[in-house]
Amino acid sequence: MTTSATRRARTLDDPRFERYRNPRSRRRLASALIALHVVEGALFVAMDHVLWPSVVALAAVLVAFVTCFGLLKASTRGIEELPEEVLDERQWEVRGRVFAASYRIGTALLTAGLATVGLWAMLDLPDPGRGVVTAAVVLPFQVALALPTLVAAFRDDV
């Protein structure tokens, strides 16, 4: 077991985060993270109309996002990211289910996004603004990174 993996596991298992480890708190944090993604998307779209207020608001959303995501990782004890050597058999099984559900959800989201782009092109709609394009590039990347943690947060057996 590497020392960095051990340190990371110890950090994520810190007793100070115990109040976030119940299903209700994890679901609230996950819902807050999803809401932050929605707000971020709306701010990207708003950048076409009011640039500087949107940039300032995006900076605030970024701080909230990092804080919320860190708490969410601690609430799941990092089951979705830690190396196998620091997990027990039950955690391996839970992680496998989390990844399987994440892949299914991610595939559905990707399919919906591609269908939207295809429909947009078929209907010959006007070009989207820079904010929509930026959101279409940034948000899928962030969602892909956060999806296993979000799925783990909504499970009762984490």
What contacts 44, CB < 8 A, 6 or more positions away?
A: 54, 58, 131, 132, 134, 135, 138, 139
pTM higher than 0.85: yes
pLDDT tens digit string along 135-157? 999 999 999 999 999 999 999 88
Confidence category of residue 2, pLDDT binned at 50, 70, 90: low
Q: Model confidence at 134, in pLDDT bands (50, 70, 90)?
A: very high
CA–CA dist 41, 116 (Å, integer): 16
- Residue 81's nearest CA partner among 148, 14, 16, 11 is 148
Report the pLDDT value the prediction gives residue 146, as an integer from 0 to 100.
Answer: 96
pLDDT of res. 143: 95
**pLDDT for 64-100, tens place per residue?**
999 999 999 999 998 998 888 888 899 999 999 999 9
What value does the mean pLDDT of the chain take?
Answer: 92
Q: Where are the domains of the chain?
A: 3-9+21-153
Q: What is the pLDDT of residue 46?
A: 94
For residue 142, give Cα distances in angstroms to 24, 52, 64: 23, 22, 14
What digits encode the pLDDT tens for the residues 103-119? 999 999 999 999 999 99
Give the separation between CA 76 and CA 151, rounded to whole angstroms. Answer: 10
Output 123 or 15, whichever has higher pLDDT: 123
